[in-house]
């Protein structure tokens, strides 16, 4: 999958792409709602899941509960959508490097800053 293809899929989840919406607008937030909190049975770490997606973004400070859904891969690739901002993003790496999320985190931080969605603690 390409970054463009993943972004297009997430954009279609957020709204119309070529006159096609994959999810009815009134059902969209249910995708981002956390439905499981507990141990990840594969990785053995605490986790949360939202209808098959992760509620997190690579730049954790940018995630907004109930608005963000997507997936971050073990090699540092990531794709997600943010309902409130209407933004879909994908970062696809062509070199496998387990646990290297630096690029995805930097890109997501830039996206969050540009849309005013970066939460500062």
Phi, psi of 64 (to 5 degrees): -125, 120
pLDDT of residue 43: 78
**Average pLDDT score over the chain:** 84
Which pLDDT tens digit goes with each residue over 90-121?
Answer: 988 876 666 677 888 888 888 888 877 655 44
**Which pLDDT belongs to residue 99?**
64
Measured distance CA(37)–CA(32) in Å, rounded: 13
Q: What confidence tens digit (pLDDT) does each residue in 32-72 have?
A: 999 999 998 887 889 899 988 988 888 877 777 788 899 88
pLDDT confidence band for 11 (50 / 70 / 90): very high
């Amino acid at each position: 999958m390409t970054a463009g293809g993943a972004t297009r899929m997430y954009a279609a989840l957020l709204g119309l792409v070529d006159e096609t919406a994959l999810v009815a607008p009134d059902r969209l937030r249910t995708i981002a709602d956390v439905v499981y909190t507990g141990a990840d049975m594969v990785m053995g770490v605490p986790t949360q899941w939202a209808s098959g997606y992760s509620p997190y973004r690579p730049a954790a400070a940018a995630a907004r509960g109930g608005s963000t859904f997507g997936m971050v891969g073990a090699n540092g690739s990531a794709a997600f959508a943010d309902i409130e901002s209407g933004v879909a993003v994908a970062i696809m790496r062509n070199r496998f490097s387990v646990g290297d999320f630096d690029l995805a985190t930097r890109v997501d931080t830039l996206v969050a800053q540009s849309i005013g969605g970066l939460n500062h603690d």
